[in-house]
Structure 1
Amino acid sequence: MKKSSLIILLFIVLSCNNSKDKIIIIKNKKEIENKQLKEIQNPLENLDSITYIATKFINDYVSNCNKMKEQIGIIEWVNSYPNVSQKFKSELTKMIQDAEEKDPEYGLGFDPIFDAQDYPDDGFKLTQFDSTTNYLTVEAKSWKGFAITMRIKKMDNEYLLDGCGVINIPKNKQAKR
């Protein structure tokens, strides 16, 4: 079958007056097919990177919160964490500082990363991912119904956490409470 297709293709190419154009078209078609194949393969690699970054971040954050007396403050922890966008860090800092200025005793009153006052101490697992928007949802491993919306953004050829809980997540995309 391959030989007969190749022979027919060769016959068509040789019988045309503009054989160079035909060969270029065929060559470009092959290049396009190869590019499309790579694009099909890359989302799988990207999916692994994106979901890994998001789930690692939220589970590392849970581990920090579980440390009780040794835990690092939220702003300091996020600012020192790799794979977090500057926009996320700035928005978190602004949100907490604004709340503390308004009410120094109570502050924000909830954790903006969890979008809650309390959290499941056994961590989260991925439950949903939208590869067109890079929004994903993680759900508590054992606390049924406790979900958090997150967003990853590609910046300078690397994936960074750019939204989580209420930070840089539009109201209509936030997990329902």
Structure 2
Amino acid sequence: MRTLSLLLFLTVIFCEESSSQEAKVDNEPRETSTAAIKTALSFINKYVDYCNDLNPEITLKDWIDEQSQVTEQFKKELKRTIAKADQQEPQLGIGADPIFDAQDYPENGFEVDTSHKESDLIRVQGKEWKDFKLNIKMTLKNGQWFVNGIGMINMSENERFER
């Protein structure tokens, strides 16, 4: 009888612990979504600051290399895109900013517009230029969110905004 009581007690304790762990998992997407939004906004607004600097001390490729909020795949694709454009059109290059996917951009920065948990896309819009929108593709690695696509970089035609 004592063994049965002990077994029953352990079963109840185990079930309660399992339920509390499940509750933590259910809350996780909301928290990671918030973290993804913060990372996306931080990156795009740092990029605006970089672009607003009329005499940047470093090239875009070097600046991107220093960014810990983007994936290595993003860094490689940006460099590949720039090199290909420079090779095809040495004087013109890409003809637009590869991250903004445009020649102009909201100089006062961006704010969140919407996010899509199912696709890890976060849509941002200019703070004072509401019609200027970008999708930012996020990826979760080792519990941390990273930018993996924006503008011309790692984005399908359907994920980009028409200008």
TM-score by length of 2: 0.88
Instruction: Tell me the secondary structure at the aligned position of residue 57 of structure 1.
Output: helix
User: Is the partner of 2:153 in helix, strand or coil?
Assistant: coil
Question: C-alpha displacement at 1:46, in angstroms?
Answer: 1.2
Alpha-carbon separation, structure 2, partners of 1:127 and 1:67: 25
Are residues 1:43 and 2:29 paired? yes
1:126 to 97, 112, 120: 112
Q: Distance in 2 between matches of 1:118 and 1:77?
A: 19
Aligned residue pairs total 161
Q: 1:54 aligns with which of 40, 50, 56?
A: 40
Deviation at 1:27, TM superposition (A): 4.3
- State the Cα distance separating 1:80 from its structure 2 match: 0.7
Equivalent positions of 1:25-174 (< 5 A) are 26-70=12-56, 72-174=58-160
Instruction: Kindly provide the amino acid, as one letter, of the partner of residue 47 in structure 2.
Output: Y
What is the percent sequence identity of the aligned residues? 29
Distance across 2 between alignment mates of 1:174 and 1:40: 31
Q: Could you tell me whether the CA contact under 8 Å between 1:64 and 1:71 is conserved in 2?
A: no
SS at 1:90 equivalent: helix
1:58 maps to amino acid = I
**One-letter code aligned to 2:141:** M
Query: Following TM superposition, by how much is the alpha carbon of 1:71 offset from its aligned partner in structure 2, in angstroms?
Result: 5.2
What amino acid is the match of 2:81? Answer: M
Which amino acid is 2:41 matched to?
T
Please give the alpha-carbon distance, in whole angstroms, between the structure 2 residues aligned to 1:22 and 1:173: 53
Farther-moved stretch of structure 1 (144-153 vs 91-100)? 144-153
Could you tell me how far apart the structure 2 residues matched to 1:67 and 1:79 are?
18
Higher relative contact order (CA 8 A, sep 6+): 2
Counterpart amino acid of 1:128? T
